[in-house]
Amino acid sequence: MIIRIGVLGCANIARRSMIPAILQLSKHFELVGIASRDGAKAAVFATEFACKPYSSYEELVDSPEVDALYIPLPTGLHKEWINRALAAGKHVYAEKSIASCEDDANAMVDRARAQSLALMEGFMFQYHSQHQQVKDLLVSGAIGQLRHFSSSFSFPPLPDGDFRYDDALGGGVLLDAAGYPLRATHFLLGDEFEVMGAALHHSQAKGTETYGSAFLANRAGVGASLAFSFDSFYQCRYELIGQTGKLTAERAFTPRPDFSPRLLLETAAGTRVIVAAADNHFVKAMLKFYEAIERAEERDALYGEILLQSRSLAVIKKLGLRSRESVQ
C-alpha cells in the first residue's frame, strides 16, 4: 500500500532531510503536496519537489488526497495542527517535541488511539544502526554490568530571533535539545528510568530556559546524567560505564547520512575504535512511520514513547523550576 503524504510547513529540516527521505521511499509513500501560509513559499517547495502547493494548512489537512502528514512546525503550533490532522483522519509524524506539555501529549495520543491512527514523534536518531551496535555490545558483556550512563546535547547560542527562544512557539532548551539525551536514556536502557532531579537556567536576555541538566535512575541503582544547552561548547554524545569498560558514541544524535560515526570501546586491554556504517536515519524513521500505519502493535509502541517522553519532560521542568527557586 502506498501512503499519500503531505508536508505541513516549509521548515529547513523538511527540505534538507525529510522530503528527500520520503522521495527515496517511493514504494511506501507518494508525496502529494506541501503547505505554507505563504503561497509563494509553498509554490517554490512544490516546484523543487514536483508536488502540489497548498496555500494554507487547512487546505492540506482537509484534503481527501492525503492519508498522512509530516508536520515540521514549531512545537507551539502542534496542539492545533496535530489535533486537526487527527480529527481529519490523517496519520501524523511530527517533529519533536510533539507537545508543549504532558496534558497535550496525552490528549493527542488518546485521539490517535481512538481512531487507530499512527502518531510519531521525530526523534529519528534512534533508528541509526550505530545504536543497535551499542545494544549488541552491551548484551555481549563488552563493558560488564552497567554502572552509569551520561549523555549531552549542547551547542553554542542560536542567532537572535530564532524561534527556539520564543516560548509562545514552544521554545526553550527543554522542548528541544533536552529531548535527545532523555530519549536516548529510555531507548537504550529501558522505560524504568525515572527523573529524580533536575536544574534549569532561565536566561533573562533570551526570555527562556537556555541550559540545564537532569538525573534519572532505575531501581537497580543505575543512574543517568543528562546535560543540554543552547549556550555551551558543542556536544552530541553518550557514554556507558560498566564494571569492566566504557562505551562512547561520539556523534550520537546528528550524523549525516554519508557520515560514519565512531564508537569507542575502552577496557583494560586498551581502546578499540569501531567505525559504524553510514546510515540514513531519516529514511529509517519514515519506514517506522509506515510500519505504524500498517500495524497496531507498532502504533502502540510509538504512543508509549510519546507518553513516557512527555511525562519525563514534565518532571524535569517541575524539578528544574523548583531547584531554581531554591537558590534565588
Percentage with pLDDT > 90 across the chain: 93
Mean pLDDT of 293-311: 98
pLDDT tens digits along 116-172: 999 999 999 999 999 999 999 999 999 999 999 999 999 999 888 888 999 888 999
pLDDT for 325 equals 56
pLDDT tens digits along 225-263: 999 999 999 999 999 999 999 999 999 999 999 999 999
Q: Catalytic residue, from 79, 96, 288, 317: name it.
A: 96
Contact 284, 124 (CB under 8 A): yes
Q: What domains can you pick out in the chain, each with its CATH number?
A: 3-124 (3.40.50.720), 128-282+314-326 (3.30.360.10)
Helix (H) or strand (E) holding 148: strand 146-154
pLDDT tens digits along 3-30: 999 999 999 999 999 999 999 999 999 9
Give SS3 for 98.
Answer: coil
User: Is residue 135 annotated as a catalytic residue, yes or no?
Assistant: no
State the Cα–Cα distance between residues 11 and 38, nearest whole angstrom: 12
pLDDT for 178 equals 98
pLDDT for 324 equals 61
Residues near 66 by beta carbon (within 8 Å), at least 6 away in sequence: 4, 5, 6, 32, 33, 60, 90
Residues near 220 by beta carbon (within 8 Å), at least 6 away in sequence: none
Which residue type occupies 274? Answer: I
Is the model's pLDDT at 326 over the cut of 70? no
Residues near 64 by beta carbon (within 8 Å), at least 6 away in sequence: none
Percentage with pLDDT > 70 across the chain: 98
Strand order in the sheet with 245-249: 194-203, 208-217, 223-229, 146-154, 235-242, 245-249, 262-267, 270-275
Query: The cell 509563494 sits on which residue?
Result: 40
